[in-house]
A and B are shown apart, each in its own frame.
Chain A
Amino acid sequence: MSGRRLQFRGLFRKYFLVLFLAVVIPLAANGVSEAWFGYRDQRARLDQLLGVEARAAASKIQGFLDGISGQLGWLVQLPWTEEPDERRRIDALRLLRQVPAIVSLTLVDGNGRERLYVSRIGLNRTESRTDRSAEAPVAGARAARLWYGEISYYRGSEPYLTVAISGNRPSVGIVVAEVNLKLIWDVISSIKVGETGYAFVLDGPGRLIAHPDISLVLRGADEITLAPFQAARQAVGPTNMGFATSRDAEGSRIAVAAAPVSGPEWTVVVEQPLSEAFGPIYAALWRTGGLLLASASFAGLLAYALARRMTQPIRQLEDGTERIGAGQFDHHIEIRTGDEFQRLADSFNAMAADLAVSQERQERIAKLKRFLAPQVAELVDRKGDDGVLEGRRTEVVAVFCDLRGFTAFSARAAPEEVMSVLSEYYEALGAIITRYAATLTSFSGDGLMVLVNAPVPVAAPALRAADMAVEMQRSVQELIVGWRARAHRIGFGIGLAMGTATVGRIGYESRFDYTAIGSVVNLAARLCASAADREILTDAAVASAVKDKRSLVPLGSRPLKGYDEELPVFRICFEERPHGV
C-alpha cells in the first residue's frame, strides 16, 4: 500500500516539476538575459554619460581659465613706451575688480622689466623696473604665449595658480596673474552628475584644486585627504576612456570618468555613487526578480492544479480498481473530466458491472449445482431462466438408499473411521448420480434421496433409475467388501418408486433445496427401509416400466408402514461384479 502511495506521489511530483519548469525556465531565462543585457546597456549608457559629463565639466573648468586668460589678453595689446602708462594701470585695476579670482597682476614690458604690479591686498607698485625676464612665468609666456605655473598654497591652504600670457609681439610685454583657485568653487559646485554625483579637479601631481566641498581643497597637500581622489584618477587611467569604479573617502563604491584640461595639465574627474549610477539597472533587477517570483508562484499554482487534475483521476481509478478488486462491484468511479480519463473510468465501471453479473451467475450456478447435475445446472444457467425449478406436478422416480447397520457402526467406530466410510460412500454414489443426470434432493447421514425426471425430464425415467440403482448397488457392494475386511458389518439397500409428485424449490434466502413431495416419495422411502442388504426394491409402476428390459423378481405384496393395504413389491436383480476386480 505504502509503495503505491509513493508511486502516486512520484507521479504528482513529476507532473508538477515538468509543468512548473516548463513555465519557469523560459521565464527565468528571459529575465536573466534581460537583466544581463540591461546591465550591459546601462554600462554603455553610463560610459557615455559619464564621459560626456567629464568632458562638459572639463570644458567648464577650461572656460574658467579661458575667461581669465581672455581678460588678461586686454593688458598685452599695446606696446610699452618708456613713459609710465596710467591708462594701463587703470585697466589693470579695473580687471582686478572684474575678475575676483585674480589676486594680483604683474605687467612686464618687452625687455622683461616689471612696469606695474597691482594687488587686491598687497601694495601696488609702478615702474619698479625690476628685471623679471629670468623668472619662470615670464620665460614661460615668452616661449609658449600662455603659461601655467604649478599650484602653490597661499598660507598653506588656498590653492593659487600663476598664469602668464604674452601678446602677439614682444613689445607689448607679458602679464603675470596670481589666480585664487578657490573661486573655481562657483564652477565646480554647479556641476552635478546625476542626483548626487559631482566633479573635482586634480593637477598633474594629484593635488586637489577644486571640489564642491571647499574644505577638502583648503586642506592643502594633505596625503590622506588626497588619496581617494588620486585613486579615482588612477582607476580611470591615462587613456580617459570610459568609466571606472573606485571608492570615495567614505569607502562607498563610485563610478568615475575623467577628462583633461589642456594648458595646466589638470584632470577633471566626475564621480557618481555606483548605487545611483546603476540605480536604473538595480530597479530593473528588482522588477525582474519580483516578476519572476510572481510568475514562479503563479506557475507553481498552475502546475499544482494541473498535476492534481492529472493525478486525481488516476488516484480515483486506482482506488476504484482496489474496491472492485475487493469485490465491491457496485462501486462507481466518478470522473467527469471529459477526456481519456473519463473514458477509462467508464470502461472500468462497465467492467465492474460485467464482473458483478458474472459473479452473480457463478453464484447461481454454484447453488444449482448443489442439487442439479452439473450439465443440467449449466443448461439452466445458460438459458438464464430457472423457471424449470418452479413448483409443478410431474411424473418422477424417487430413489432412496441407505446403509444397513450404519448407526450401530457409527456408535462403535472412531469418528475418523466413520467419516472415512461416509466419504468413500458418497464419492461412489455422487459419481453415479452425476453420470445418470439425476437430481440429488437431499442427504442425511448415510441416507440420500435422488429424483429422476425432475426438474429436467429424461427419456425412460424408470429404466434410468433402475440402472442407476443397480450401478449404486454394485459400487457400494464393492466398498462393503473393503469395509467388511476392516470388520465393519455394513450393508446397503435401495428403494425406488415412480409416480406423480409435486417438485420445486423450497427453502429461504440462499438456502434453497429442490425437492419432491408426494406419496411416491414416501413409497420409495418405505421400500428402501424394507430393502435388505444387496436389495433393490421397487414398486409396481417402476416394475411395469422395466419388466421387459431388466430382470425382476416379484416379491408379492408386502405390508408397508404408512400404507393401509399391502402393496406389490419387486426386486431388481443385478449381477455383482466379480470380487477383487
Chain B
Amino acid sequence: MGRHTALATLLITLLISTAEAQTPTKTARIGKLCPAKCDGLAHITFDDEIRKLGWVEGRDLTIERKEAEGRFERLPDLAAQLVRSRPDVIVASSTRPVQAVKNATSEIPIVFAAVGDPVGTGLVQSLARPGGNVTGVTYFVPGFGLAKKFEIIRELLPQAQHVGVLASADNDATRQRLSIEIPIASQRYGFRIDVIGFRVAEDIDGAVAKAKMLGVEALAVAADPIVNTPWNRVPDLVAQAGIPAVYDQRDSAQAGGLIAYGIDIAENARTQARLVDRVLRGASPAKMPVEQPTRYIFIVNLKTAKALGLTVPPSLLSQADEVIE
C-alpha cells in the first residue's frame, strides 16, 4: 500500500517538524540566588528535574548562580546583579532571597521553593492567584513545623523538661514562627524552651556549646540555610555534644542527625522546576497558583539513637519513611 506509506511518511515528517518546533530554539536563562551555596539536595533535584523537562544546561539553558555564602546582607546586591543580567526567570528558595529579588524586580518572574507564608510576607496576593511576578511552592505555614518537632521530642523523651531551639536570629520568618509555635508547644507539652540564636555560620559552634552549657535535654533545629552549610556540620556538633535533636531536612538525618521531620524539599524542588518550565514556555506567574507541599519526610537515624543510648518508640518508627540503621 504505497499510499499508506506515503501518508505515514508525511505524518512522521509533520510530527518531527512539530516536535522540532516545540523544542526551544533560543537559550533559556535562569538566574539562581542561593543564600549559602547553590548545592545540596534541593539544588541537585531542581537541576535534574529541569533537565528531565527538556532544558539541558549548556545546550538550551544557562543558569547563572549567585551564592551569598550565608551572608544575608549580600542578598540585595546579588539580587540586583541577577536582575541586571535579565534572565528569563529567577529561582530562589526561601523567604529572604525571594524577598531580595522581588525588591529588585517586579517584571522578571520569580519562582520559589520554600516560602512559609508567601501571602503574609506580601510576595503574592493569594495562593490561588499570585497576581504578580512571583509564584512557587510553600513551606510550613507559621504555626506548624516547629511545633511538630516538639511533639516528636515529647514522644521520644516523655520525661524531658528543658528543650532548646537552634534558630537564626536574623530570619524574620523564623522569628515569627518561633513567636507563634513556642507558646503552643510549651503549653501543650510543658517544656521549658530556650531559643539559641545564631546569625552567621561562624556562630554555630558557640550556639551548640551554649545548648550543652544550658543543659537542654533535646534540640529542635529550625530550618535555615546556614544550618545546612556544610550539610553535616550541625549534626556533627550536636552529636559531639550528646544532645538528641530533631531536624527539618532529610540530609541532616543522613549526616547523623537523630530525627528529621519536614517537608520533602526534593519534591518541592521538582515542583519548582515544573513551574520554572512553564514560565520558560511563556506562562505568566501571576496566574500560576502557588503550590503547597504534599509530601513530608520522617527519618529516624537508629545509629545515632544507639550512640545516644535512646530507644525510639514504635509510634515514631511507624511514622518513619526511612529508618537509618
Give 1 or 0 for each of A115-140: 1 = CB within 8 Å of chain B CB: 00000111110000000000000000
Task: State whether B318 touches A156 (Cβ < 8 A).
Answer: no
* Cα distance A90–B317 in the bound complex, in angstroms: 9
Tell me, yes or no, whether B251 is within 8 Å of chain A by CB: no
Query: Could you tell me which residues of chain B, from 182 to 231, have a CB within 8 Å of some CB in chain A?
Result: 184, 188
Tell me, yes or no, whether B288 is within 8 Å of chain A by CB: yes
Tell me, yes or no, whether A93 is within 8 Å of chain B by CB: yes
- B278's nearest neighbour on chain A, judged by CB, is A215
Task: State whether B127 touches A155 (Cβ < 8 A).
Answer: yes
Find chain B residues with CB under 8 A from A156 CB.
126-128
**Distance from A95 Cβ to chain B, minimum over Cβ atoms (Å):** 10
Task: State whether B128 touches A89 (Cβ < 8 A).
Answer: no
Task: State whether A121 touches B318 (Cβ < 8 A).
Answer: no
Query: Could you tell me which residues of chain B, from 159 to 196, have a CB within 8 Å of some CB in chain A?
Result: 184, 188
Task: State whether B296 touches A214 (Cβ < 8 A).
Answer: no
Find chain B residues with CB under 8 A from A215 CB.
278, 287-289, 291
Chain B contact residue count (CB 8 A cutoff): 31
Query: Could you tell me which residues of chain B, from 80 to 107, have a CB within 8 Å of some CB in chain A?
Result: none
Q: Tell which of B24-32, B65-73, B141-149 binds the partner.
A: B141-149
Tell me, yes or no, whether A52 is within 8 Å of chain B by CB: no
* Cα distance A122–B142 in the bound complex, in angstroms: 11
**Distance from B198 Cβ to chain A, minimum over Cβ atoms (Å):** 26
Tell me, yes or no, whether B22 is within 8 Å of chain A by CB: no
Query: Could you tell me which residues of chain B, from 283 to 303, have a CB within 8 Å of some CB in chain A?
Result: 287-292, 294-296, 298
Task: State whether B148 touches A155 (Cβ < 8 A).
Answer: no
Tell me, yes or no, whether A464 is within 8 Å of chain B by CB: no
Tell me, yes or no, whether B315 is within 8 Å of chain A by CB: yes
Pick the contact of A97: B288, B291, B298 (CB < 8 A).
B298
Find chain A residues with CB under 8 A from B298 CB.
97
Find chain B residues with CB under 8 A from A218 CB.
127-128, 289-291
Task: State whether A123 touches B147 (Cβ < 8 A).
Answer: yes
Find chain A residues with CB under 8 A from B296 CB.
120-121
* Cα distance A349–B321 in the bound complex, in angstroms: 110
Of A96, A100, A219, most buried by chain B (CB within 10 Å of CB) is A219
Pick the contact of B318: A97, A122, A182, A220 (CB < 8 A).
A97
**Distance from A276 Cβ to chain B, minimum over Cβ atoms (Å):** 13
Tell me, yes or no, whether A183 is within 8 Å of chain B by CB: yes
Task: State whether B318 touches A93 (Cβ < 8 A).
Answer: yes
Query: Given A93-B319, A222-B128, A100 and B295 touching (CB < 8 A)?
Result: yes
Query: Could you tell me which residues of chain B, from 125 to 145, have a CB within 8 Å of some CB in chain A?
Result: 126-129, 140-141, 144-145
Find chain A residues with CB under 8 A from B291 CB.
214-215, 218
Query: Given A96-B319, A219-B129, A222-B128, A121 and B289 touching (CB < 8 A)?
Result: no
Tell me, yes or no, whether A69 is within 8 Å of chain B by CB: no
* Cα distance A93–B313 in the bound complex, in angstroms: 13
**Distance from B173 Cβ to chain A, minimum over Cβ atoms (Å):** 16
Task: State whether B318 touches A219 (Cβ < 8 A).
Answer: no
* Cα distance A89–B151 in the bound complex, in angstroms: 14
Pick the contact of A219: B128, B141, B315 (CB < 8 A).
B128
Tell me, yes or no, whether A86 is within 8 Å of chain B by CB: yes
Find chain A residues with CB under 8 A from B119 CB.
155
Query: Given A182-B294, A222-B129, A90 and B315 touching (CB < 8 A)?
Result: yes
Sample of 15 more A-B contacts, CB < 8 Å, known A121-B296, A123-B151? A86-B315, A89-B315, A90-B318, A97-B298, A97-B319, A120-B296, A121-B141, A122-B144, A123-B184, A124-B151, A153-B128, A157-B292, A180-B294, A215-B287, A218-B127
Chain A to chain B contacts (Cβ below 8 Å), 5 pairs: A86-B315, A156-B126, A157-B126, A215-B278, A215-B288
By a beta-carbon cutoff of 8 Å, the part of chain A in contact with chain B is 86, 89-90, 93-94, 96-97, 100, 120-124, 153-158, 180, 182-183, 214-215, 218-220, 222
